[in-house]
Chain A
Amino acid sequence: MDGIEGASNPTMEEMQANGTGGVDELPLTSTSTRKNRPIVSGEPLDIEAYAGLYTGRTKIKRLMFIANHCDNPGMQLEALRMAYDEIKKGENTHLYREVVQKIDGRLGPNYAMDAAWCSTIERKAELRKEKLESELNAYRTNLIKESIRMGYNDFGDFYYAHGALGDAFKSYVRTRDYCTTSKHIIQMCLNAILVSIEMVQFSNVTSYVSKAEQTPEALDPPTVAKLCCAAGLAHLEAKKYKLAARKFLEVGPELGNSYSEVIAPQDVATYGGLCALASFDRTELKNKVIDNINFRDFLELVPEVRELINDFYSSHYASCLEYLGNLKSNLMLDIHLYDHVETLYDQIRNKALIQYTLPFVSVDMRMMADAFKTSVVGLEKELEALITDNQIQARIDSHNKILYARHADQRNATFQRVLQTGNEFDQEVRAMLLRSSLLKYDYNLRASRKH
């Protein structure tokens, strides 16, 4: 009912012009027919389906993020309602209060503040905490490693369920001293990683991932996949898109839904695909993404991303950019990706422009503007920025609107540099001799003063 604020670029779906007069004559790809509704698509987000992908705290956090960042009040309320329901199933009163405040009574009396529930939960929490503490003390006096470890682990779970993330992290880390097998270590690492991701402290994530990978025993495939995802997320947060892409592409199909408290396979495909597109060169893109059988399964879950990668590789830039435009609004609602969307999009667009001009000696800017669905003036500005940045070696003939490739004349450049270096050497040496003469004077003065 509400206007689709999602489609930010005026999508000209009618025009099938993908690179007309451009590079090759492959048949134009049409917008894909979808068998089932994918989650990541150009249409407004289906919140129920989206939330169904996740479990636990991340589900609540994601729903609240959508509610905060979405303009559509219908979607907002839907997200808040689902968040409320989810929180009620758990024990986190803090988040509960937040959600109730956000709802602000708009969803009717069923979704108002249930103070009784809050106090019950808090009382139960107190009791449980006391019990856990007494148990832990008992174990500690007995000095049985395994039970102490489980005691701390339970504490960690308890704190996590109640939203005290810092305490949860500390408890999990304390189990390290009582871990005896590598399985214990891995469990500890995975817990620590989970809490760190929730706390958005990705430096811890990287260190615990490497710790887990260093265990002497071979890890089972789902764990390996989980660690790859976690590492990928950490790199993404650190804006190291190339490393993030590599990590996401390494994730095996064994991941399935086993890491739903952090990430869904659709996310792996989206993050991996976009980061790869923004940072890989052509060979790497082909080898690691397009020819990657494992990753193909992930890409099936997000057919639009698959289509846009293929379009980019086969130089159908217009349709590639169109898909990107459609996806943008939904990607902005993703809790991990939202502040990287702009950068990634810019990088992808720049790469497309550079790749387009690479094979040619001269390019008609009007045709290029058509291929990229932009005006000639706008294109000129973008090209100017890329040329100044030295990413394209070319010159613009603004009068005839043609881009000419320009290759640096090595010989002239060398001569220029030689002469310049000679001049600089000349100046420096003369200045040096002058300064040494001044210093000598200074010494002589001091020497004569001493005598």
Chain B
Amino acid sequence: MNSVEGLLTQIQGLSSTASDVLSLQNVLKQADESLHAESTRLLPFLDQLDPSKHSLGYLYFLEACTAGPVTTESASSFVLVIARFISSCVAEQIRLAPDKFISVCKRFKDQVLLLEEPLRGVAPMLTAVRKLQSSTEHLTTLHPEFLLLCLLAKCYKTGLSILEEDIFEVDQPRDLYLYCYYGGMICIGQKCFRKALELLHNVVTAPMSTINAIAVEAYKKYILVSLIHHGQLSTSLPKYASGVAQRNLKSLCLSYIELANSYNNGKIADLETYVQANMEKFGSDNNLGLVKQVVSSIYKRNIQRLTQTYLTLSLQDIANTVQLNSPKEAEMHVLQMIQDGEIYATINQKDGMVRFLEDPELYKTCEMIEHIDLSIQRLMTLSKKLTVMDELISCDPLYLGKVSLPFPFIKLF
């Protein structure tokens, strides 16, 4: 009606310069209520706005449109609209109203999931994330949504590209927990167990005042990935983990701790019977695939131990020591491990012998020197960052208030 048209003209008029945009924002804030009241009728008005020029206004309108419940019919139309908006909007304008942008994107995700086409949402969500972040070190609420879509669409590589970046600023703790949890799952999917372990470790040791389900699930996966990657599980959480986590996590993940104990005993038969017995529990947590990988990793662990003791060993002996059924199976395992780069060996099929070799890396090449040099630079930057942050905190009044001062301030008149 009139107010809506009036609003439209104002948007079109006040979207050119930065100061205009700010005054537009005030107008829009006041008009927000009335927009929401008219949400059902707003869709056709959107055509009159250009998302690339009038991003802020468009955003408000869009947010009001999508505020209602999501239905399948509206979903398909909205998905196109929102995707186009995200790709063409101007980053500075939408950063003025971040929560609106976030809720629009969340709606987008819901619609895409309702249509069961998560793949359609991956690229737009990535653009959205990039536009919302103030820097690559900033974690937004959209990060976990993006990772969720990647997981559901099974395009792990795109997810990995976001995970490569270091995060130092966080908006909300819950975002971080979800981000790390989904990120861990993506890394597991790509078999980057080291990074997965790091992300899951961050969730488990993050400061939290009460135990939450994300941490519990993350801890379960953490135990399994730790067994696969390191072959052992450290029994206690580090000291900087929150007290809540230290007290409660273990009791909530008992069957996994049992699994870790059974793994450490080294008897493959026991491990397998335990897994069989608890198949349901692992399945209900959706960890069955990981558990199977844990079981196969125990063979790898044992074969790796053999490389420390033997120079050559017959396949039959390997099969006996590692408790495999036949030399053929042993050969397959060893071959797989050679291909994955986990051991260095040659198989002599004529004699049925395996010859274990040393790690051929001599640390003499230019690439290695460069790698070391880059690592040093990187660590120096990180250290500087840490020092800066330390200085900032020591000047922070809140912190100083907590730490008692040795003598009181002397007031000078």
Interface string of B167-180 (1 = CB under 8 A from A): 11111110010000
A104 located at the interface, meaning its Cβ lies under 8 Å from any Cβ of chain B in the complex: no
CA distance A447 to B317 in the complex (A): 66
Tally of contact residues, A, Cβ under 8 A: 36
Q: Is the beta-carbon distance between B398 and A447 smaller than 8 angstroms?
A: yes
Interface string of B5-26 (1 = CB under 8 A from A): 0000000000000000000000
Q: Is the beta-carbon distance between A430 and B166 smaller than 8 angstroms?
A: yes
**A426-B378, A442-B207 known; A387 vs B170 contact (CB < 8 Å):** no
| B376: A residues at CB distance < 8 A | 422
Q: Is the beta-carbon distance between A387 and B375 smaller than 8 angstroms?
A: no
Q: Is the beta-carbon distance between A400 and B312 smaller than 8 angstroms?
A: yes
**Measured between C-beta atoms, what is the minimum distance from B170 to chain A in Å?**
5
Interface string of A408-451 (1 = CB under 8 A from B): 01011001001100110111011111111111011100010000
| B314: A residues at CB distance < 8 A | 398-399
Q: Is the beta-carbon distance between B202 and A431 smaller than 8 angstroms?
A: yes
Interface string of B148-174 (1 = CB under 8 A from A): 000000000000000000111111110
| A435: B residues at CB distance < 8 A | 205-207, 240
Residue among A388, A412, A430, A436 making CB contact with B362, cutoff 8 Å: A412
Q: Is the beta-carbon distance between A429 and B386 smaller than 8 angstroms?
A: yes
**Measured between C-beta atoms, what is the minimum distance from B184 to chain A in Å?**
14
**Measured between C-beta atoms, what is the minimum distance from B234 to chain A in Å?**
14
A395 located at the interface, meaning its Cβ lies under 8 Å from any Cβ of chain B in the complex: yes
B353 located at the interface, meaning its Cβ lies under 8 Å from any Cβ of chain A in the complex: yes
Q: Is the beta-carbon distance between B207 and A412 smaller than 8 angstroms?
A: no
B296 located at the interface, meaning its Cβ lies under 8 Å from any Cβ of chain A in the complex: no
**A438-B176, A438-B207, A447-B398 known; A422 vs B379 contact (CB < 8 Å):** yes
| B172: A residues at CB distance < 8 A | 441
A339 located at the interface, meaning its Cβ lies under 8 Å from any Cβ of chain B in the complex: no
A384 located at the interface, meaning its Cβ lies under 8 Å from any Cβ of chain B in the complex: yes
| A387: B residues at CB distance < 8 A | 308-309
Q: Which of B293-317 contact A (CB under 8 A)?
A: 305, 308-314, 317
| A423: B residues at CB distance < 8 A | 375
Q: Is the beta-carbon distance between B310 and A395 smaller than 8 angstroms?
A: yes
**Measured between C-beta atoms, what is the minimum distance from A164 to chain B in Å?**
48
B73 located at the interface, meaning its Cβ lies under 8 Å from any Cβ of chain A in the complex: no
**Chain A binding surface, main DSSP class:** helix
Interface string of A387-399 (1 = CB under 8 A from B): 1100000011111
| A280: B residues at CB distance < 8 A | none
Determine the residue in chain A with the shortest Cβ distance to B371.
A419
Q: Is the beta-carbon distance between B375 and A434 smaller than 8 angstroms?
A: no
Interface string of A164-207 (1 = CB under 8 A from B): 00000000000000000000000000000000000000000000
A313 located at the interface, meaning its Cβ lies under 8 Å from any Cβ of chain B in the complex: no
Q: Is the beta-carbon distance between B309 and A395 smaller than 8 angstroms?
A: yes
Tally of contact residues, B, Cβ under 8 A: 47
B247 located at the interface, meaning its Cβ lies under 8 Å from any Cβ of chain A in the complex: no
CA distance A400 to B311 in the complex (A): 10
Residue among B317, B375, B383 making CB contact with A398, cutoff 8 Å: B317
A404 located at the interface, meaning its Cβ lies under 8 Å from any Cβ of chain B in the complex: yes
**Measured between C-beta atoms, what is the minimum distance from B194 to chain A in Å?**
8
CA distance A438 to B317 in the complex (A): 53
Q: Is the beta-carbon distance between B386 and A398 smaller than 8 angstroms?
A: no
**A387-B309, A395-B310, A431-B202 known; A412 vs B168 contact (CB < 8 Å):** no
Determine the residue in chain B with the shortest Cβ distance to A442.
B207
B351 located at the interface, meaning its Cβ lies under 8 Å from any Cβ of chain A in the complex: yes
Q: Is the beta-carbon distance between B205 and A431 smaller than 8 angstroms?
A: yes
Residue among A388, A427, A429, A436 making CB contact with B308, cutoff 8 Å: A388
Interface string of B359-397 (1 = CB under 8 A from A): 101110000100010011011001101100100010000
Q: Is the beta-carbon distance between A399 and B305 smaller than 8 angstroms?
A: no
Residue among A415, A433, A438 making CB contact with B173, cutoff 8 Å: A438
| A438: B residues at CB distance < 8 A | 170, 173, 176, 206-207
Q: Is the beta-carbon distance between A439 and B382 smaller than 8 angstroms?
A: no
Q: Is the beta-carbon distance between B317 and A427 smaller than 8 angstroms?
A: no
Q: Is the beta-carbon distance between A397 and B382 smaller than 8 angstroms?
A: no
**Measured between C-beta atoms, what is the minimum distance from A412 to chain B in Å?**
6
| A443: B residues at CB distance < 8 A | 398
CA distance A435 to B356 in the complex (A): 43
Q: Is the beta-carbon distance between B353 and A384 smaller than 8 angstroms?
A: no
| B361: A residues at CB distance < 8 A | 412
| B33: A residues at CB distance < 8 A | none
Q: Is the beta-carbon distance between A439 and B207 smaller than 8 angstroms?
A: yes
CA distance A396 to B318 in the complex (A): 13
Q: Is the beta-carbon distance between A411 and B363 smaller than 8 angstroms?
A: yes
Residue among A395, A426, A434, A447 making CB contact with B382, cutoff 8 Å: A426
Q: Which of A6-24 contact B (CB under 8 A)?
A: none
9 CB-based A-B contacts, threshold 8 Å = A387-B309, A396-B309, A396-B313, A398-B314, A400-B312, A425-B382, A426-B379, A434-B176, A442-B209
